[in-house]
Amino acid sequence: MKSVFLFTALLTACGATPVASSGPPRVTIPVAPSASVADPGPPPSLASKEALFPKVARRVLPNGLEVAVVEAHALPIVQVRLFVRAGMGYGGPALASLTAQLLKDGGTRSMKNTELVERIERLGATLSVQTGLDSTVLGLGITKEHLSEAIAILAEMVRSPRFEETELDKLKARATDEAEDSARSDGSWTATRVLFHELYQSTSPYAVYDASPADIRKVTGKTVRTFHRRFYVPKNTTLVVAGDTTLDLAADVAVHSFGTWAGGNAPVREAVPLVASKGRRVVIAHRPQSAQSDVFAVGTVPQRDTPDWPAIRVATQVLGGGPASRLFMDVREKRSLAYQTRASLIELAQGPQPVVAYAGTRTAKTAEALDGLLENLERMVTAAPSEDELATARRYLVDVFAIRMETVGAIADMVVTESTLGLGDGYWDRYRAKLRTVDAKAVGEVSRAMFRPTLIVVAGDADVIGTSLTRFGVVTVVDPEHEFRLVRTLPAAAAAR
Amino acid sequence: MRPLVLAALVALASAPASVSAEPIAAPEPEPRPLGLDIRRAQLPNGLRVVLAVDPTSPTVAVDVVYDVGARNEVPGRSGFAHLFEHMMFQGSSRVPRGEHFRLVTAHGGTLNGTTSSDRTNYFELLPRSELPLALWLEADRMKSLDISQSNFENQRQVVKEEYRMRIENRPYAPANIELQATVFEGHFPYSHATIGTMADLDSASLDWVRAFHNSYYAPNNAVLAIAGDIDPDETLRLVRQIFGDAKPVANVPKYPGGTVPEQTAERQRTVNDPHAKLPAVFYGWAAPASRQREHYALELAAMALGDGESSRLYRKLVREQSQALEVDVSLWGHRGPDMFEIDVKLAASGSLARVQSVVEEEIDSLARNGPTPAELTKLRQRIKHGFLFGLQSNYARAQQLAEFELYWGDATLLRSELGHYLTVSADDIRRAVASTLTKARRSRIEVRPRTEGAVQ
């Protein structure tokens, strides 16, 4: 329904895991002074139930294709995710996403382009094709009687694509329109693209977020076919099936459709070096007549498998994870500078990971909002979270997973995340156990390293906000509508902080 | 492309809600395959309660839906229902400002509130053990708000930031507001945007907040829906204990109703949009309220035209002819008069005339012939699919059941809702398209993007 206005953005959680209501101690519920002694507050909590992440059963076919199954029999439905470890910067810009889209749009040896989609939609399903930073996922939800047919269609898509040049040309034209559209209309998109470009060296697969028109122009039928041969191989692919099925059933179906699929070894992942930091940089992605600025203050945290991850996650939650966080209560509820403000981690399969403090603020208040973000980041470094803040963040992070696991699709996506990031089966329950032990000392230590942003990115009207941001450092202005070319550089103000 | 929003599920509620008295009515036979275990009750103070028991996940959704939305606003006060929704998070008699957020988060849950033309809702999603906390928080702010001028000013600014984010800074959003105003011209309740205007937000006053709460926020003007891993008897005991002393309001202002003046000639408008890169065209037609037979037929027509990549308009305009980047066909799902909408964002090389020609051809084809048998089979399969997948989460069930109870007087009608779609015939679709999607009844908004370097 389109005319519904969300009051607060639904809270975001990194990953997800089951609930453990028996975990951290209860938080004290304050009672306003006016409340009577006879009315002490809400009735006591009810009995809790432990909710572990459902078991993931895996089987590897002789050709190397992995099948991962989660059984959930409440409804006669199944969610399928075929994911390939091929992110948006892998093998070169725009290749992963255009190859994946062409699998859907370009048809197969036995099906013309529109027939494939027609067959899937006749089952009631919708095929989604999504390329993220580390993987490409072909996903669909179906009723269980159609599992075999759906997987057969997916298999034909990835094994026998036509890759017709005419369809590739259409797709490239559409992708170019989308990229030009985003460059003007979507401040968050432009800021994110700048973030990755500025943070990672150009040789890194993470140096490119999504694609620009120039990236798209370079893609040819030959580069698509080469990419497909290299990345779309059984040893680089996992089939996730969650819902009303069993491992034996899903594996049988997989053998039938994928058993004779052959291919080489999984490609070796490329290194992801960061750009060396030379002090704080400010980059404005110019957006003429912007009513608001999207303000990003960016730092980094260690690789995803660091033992400090639970503490990093709790620190991020305290800073900006929802309406009980410092950013929400200060930048929004006290200073009225934003409707949306938050802190979040962008999770990657390897290398350092970005941590972003964000506010969307009216143009005239851009510098003031950035002050608000930086002051709260600094306070995370200088003032340890209170016990109440820690308890709130821990309990939320531990328990919210059960809410996120209410749908079979969400469970399937969590298995994809677990595999893409190389976390291993049972990760979500281990992670939840570790979250419960995070203390103020651990949060303080990670905060000192992660909340010192070296990069500020603002998508907004540079003509209005440029000068005001020079007090934060040297300001570089780029033009998203012309391949992010350099427009001008403004020197840092004498009193740059 | 906008996915099917679980059937529009709404229509004009002229009759008062009729709900069962305590105790909880016996559960009806379990339907297949949805398996909705629905219980209904009403407290003496008028609060209607709907429970949906599902132990699949050890969680619970608590959702209070008030029978007030943007349609209850009057000229000069647009956006106030939504601004008021923000004030409901600013403290109540026993919950200091900020504590509602903290308490729910600190007990492992999330929360939110939303406002539409038809209603306002507030919800908490929590581990099952924290059901009492959610009920206590909702009851406290139903009974009394603790507001101040400074809190009000703060939230006015926050909502204005929301307005900038959703409208002023977002391409095509102003055109969508223009379409709504054009289609429902002469019928204020549905012709204005839920978020209102900046001028009306600026003129709102603290006194309105108190009066609004006193008028609409009462147990006899609300439905409480609870879905998830609950014991129904224990839950109703808690509801009685916590909400039982909420005082009803004797004279809740009645929604004035009214009809949309019949349109006899096409209306055309142009919106210059500085944030749009590509041209777009939006078409709108006034449509019957939800849950009327013609509305079900129009929903299927919308699916035939724009649901999925094999739909008529998507296939022709995007896949085959490369005239468009996006096609979106939908009904808004109002309980009152509704809108049938077609949005097309053109490709850079697309032609507005060609797009219009294809849109008209496909509407004419449906109006003459209806969908093909294969097409109708596909639509029915996708509707079934939508119901099965769309009601998985506790919140989805709670919200749908609450709206059915509030709008149509009986939450259990949701069980038979799928059947209404499956009995729509090709001829029903043909007739609904022929009578509703005519050129004379059409409103058309053309979006002109900023040209390079132009300042508007």
What residues in A contact B241, CB-CB < 8 Å? 43
CA distance B22 to B443: 48
Look at residue A32 in the predicted model and tell me its pLDDT. 41
What are φ and ψ of residue B114, in 5° steps?
-140, 150
Look at residue A494 in the predicted model and tell me its pLDDT. 80
Q: Does B68 share its domain with B212? A: yes
Q: Does B238 share its domain with B274? A: no
pLDDT class of B453 with cuts at 50, 70, 90: low
Look at residue A5 in the predicted model and tell me its pLDDT. 26
Look at residue A21 in the predicted model and tell me its pLDDT. 28
For B104-159, the pLDDT digits (tens) are 999 999 999 999 999 999 999 999 999 999 999 999 999 999 889 999 999 999 99
Superfamily of the domain at A281-490 = Metalloenzyme, LuxS/M16 peptidase-like (3.30.830.10)
Which of B229, B337, B251, B233 minimizes the C-alpha distance to B290?
B337
pLDDT class of A41 with cuts at 50, 70, 90: confident
Least confident of A9-18, B18-27, B436-445: A9-18
Q: Which residue of A has its CA nearest to B334?
A: A1
Look at residue B192 in the predicted model and tell me its pLDDT. 98
> How much is the average pLDDT of A336-343?
97
**Secondary-structure percent of chain B, ordered helix, strand, coil, rounded to 5:** 45, 20, 40
State the residue range of the domain holding B212: 38-243
Tell me, what's the ipTM?
A: 0.91
Distance from CA of A112 to the nearest CA of B (A): 12
Interface-testing mutation among B172, B385, B393, with chain A (most A C-beta atoms within 10 A): B385
> How much is the average pLDDT of A165-173?
96
What residues in B contact A288, CB-CB < 8 Å? 274, 450, 455
What residues in B contact A35, CB-CB < 8 Å? 93-94
Q: Does B380 share its domain with B422? A: yes
User: Does A239 lie at the interface with B, CB-CB under 8 angstroms?
Assistant: no
What residues in A contact B168, CB-CB < 8 Å? 291-292
Specify if B6 maps to a domain: no
Given a cut of 60, whether residue B7 has pLDDT beyond it is no
> How much is the average pLDDT of A68-92?
95
Residue B332 has its nearest CB partner, among A2, A395, A405, at A2
Given a cut of 70, whether residue B300 has pLDDT beyond it is yes
Which of A49, A52, A48 minimizes the C-alpha distance to A18?
A52
Specify if B399 maps to a domain: yes
> How much is the average pLDDT of A398-421?
95
Q: Does B377 share its domain with B288? A: yes
> How much is the average pLDDT of A135-153?
96
Specify if B67 maps to a domain: yes
Residue A8 has its nearest CB partner, among B112, B133, B330, at B112
Given a cut of 60, whether residue A6 has pLDDT beyond it is no
Q: How many domains in chain B?
A: 2
DSSP-assigned beta bridge partners for residue B341: B284, B330
What are φ and ψ of residue B26, in 5° steps?
-65, 145
Given a cut of 90, whether residue A162 has pLDDT beyond it is yes
For B323-381, the pLDDT digits (tens) are 999 999 999 999 999 999 999 999 999 999 999 999 999 999 999 999 999 999 999 99
First to last CA, chain B: 29
Look at residue B32 in the predicted model and tell me its pLDDT. 54
For B164-206, the pLDDT digits (tens) are 999 999 999 999 999 999 999 999 999 999 999 999 999 999 9
Look at residue A64 in the predicted model and tell me its pLDDT. 97
Q: Which of 184-203 (A) contact B at CB < 8 A?
A: 184-185, 187
Angle CA A241–A244–A249, to nearest 5: 65
Distance from CA of A270 to the nearest CA of B (A): 34
Given a cut of 80, whether residue B19 has pLDDT beyond it is no
Whole-angstrom CA distances from A307 to A304, A315, A449, B5 are 9, 14, 15, 42
Percent of chain B past pLDDT 90, that is, above it, reads 90
Which of A348, A327, A323 minimizes the C-alpha distance to A423?
A348
pLDDT class of A40 with cuts at 50, 70, 90: low
Neighbours of A333 (CB within 10 A): 20
> How much is the average pLDDT of A340-348?
97
Look at residue A7 in the predicted model and tell me its pLDDT. 26
CA distance B279 to B294: 32
pLDDT class of A33 with cuts at 50, 70, 90: very low
Q: Does B187 share its domain with B312? A: no
Look at residue B452 in the predicted model and tell me its pLDDT. 72
The ranges of chain A annotated as CATH 3.30.830.10 are: 57-258, 281-490
CA distance B200 to B156: 11
> CB of B84 within 8 A of CB of B212?
yes
Q: Does B93 share its domain with B230? A: yes
DSSP-assigned letters across all residues of A142-161 = EEGGGHHHHHHHHHHHHHSB
Residue A291 has its nearest CB partner, among B54, B136, B164, at B164
Look at residue B454 in the predicted model and tell me its pLDDT. 55
Look at residue A497 in the predicted model and tell me its pLDDT. 52
Specify if B326 maps to a domain: yes
Look at residue A191 in the predicted model and tell me its pLDDT. 98
> How much is the average pLDDT of A337-345?
97
Classified as helix, coil or strand, A27 is coil
Which of B4, B3, B1, B8 minimizes the C-alpha distance to B414?
B8
CATH number for position B76 = 3.30.830.10
CA distance A379 to A384: 8
> CB of B337 within 8 A of CB of B287?
yes
What are φ and ψ of residue B315, in 5° steps?
-60, -45
Specify if B252 maps to a domain: no
Sign of CA dihedral A121, A123, A126, A128: negative
Q: Does B91 share its domain with B207? A: yes
Q: Does B306 share its domain with B411? A: yes
Interface-testing mutation among B4, B87, B146, B165, with chain A (most A C-beta atoms within 10 A): B165
For B79-112, the pLDDT digits (tens) are 999 999 999 999 998 999 999 999 999 999 999 9
Q: Does B166 share its domain with B234? A: yes
Q: Is B282 left (phi over 0), alpha (psi -120 to 50) or beta?
A: beta
CA distance B61 to B131: 8
Interchain CB distance below 8 Å, A292 and B164: yes
Q: What is the 3-state secondary structure (H, E, C) of A458-474?
A: EEECHHHHCHHHHHHCE
Q: Which residue of A has its CA nearest to B86?
A: A7
Q: What is the dihedral of CA A86, A88, A94, A98, to 10 degrees?
A: 60
What are φ and ψ of residue B57, in 5° steps?
-125, 140
For A430-446, the pLDDT digits (tens) are 999 999 999 999 999 99
Residue B332 has its nearest CB partner, among A3, A124, A177, at A3
Distance from CA of A278 to the nearest CA of B (A): 33
User: Does A1 lie at the interface with B, CB-CB under 8 angstroms?
Assistant: yes
Interchain CB distance below 8 Å, B107 and A76: no
Look at residue B107 in the predicted model and tell me its pLDDT. 96
Q: H helices of A276-364, where?
A: 309-320, 326-327
For A387-398, the pLDDT digits (tens) are 999 999 999 999
Q: Does B314 share its domain with B346? A: yes
Look at residue B33 in the predicted model and tell me its pLDDT. 62
Distance from CA of B16 to the nearest CA of A (A): 24
pLDDT class of A39 with cuts at 50, 70, 90: low
> How much is the average pLDDT of B25-32?
39
For A205-243, the pLDDT digits (tens) are 999 999 999 999 999 999 999 999 999 999 999 999 999
DSSP conformation class of A200:
B
Residue B308 has its nearest CB partner, among A19, A126, A187, at A126
Q: Does B315 share its domain with B408? A: yes
Given a cut of 60, whether residue A282 has pLDDT beyond it is yes
Q: Does B183 share its domain with B281? A: no
Given a cut of 60, whether residue B20 has pLDDT beyond it is no
User: Does A341 lie at the interface with B, CB-CB under 8 angstroms?
Assistant: no
Q: Which tokens in the block code for residue A329?
A: 């209560």
A57-258 folds as Cytochrome Bc1 Complex; Chain A, domain 1 (3.30.830)
What does the radius of gyration of chain A's CA atoms come to, in whole angstroms?
24
Q: Which tokens in the block code for residue A274?
A: 């960061």
Interchain CB distance below 8 Å, B319 and A105: yes
CA distance A105 to B349: 19
First to last CA, chain A: 45
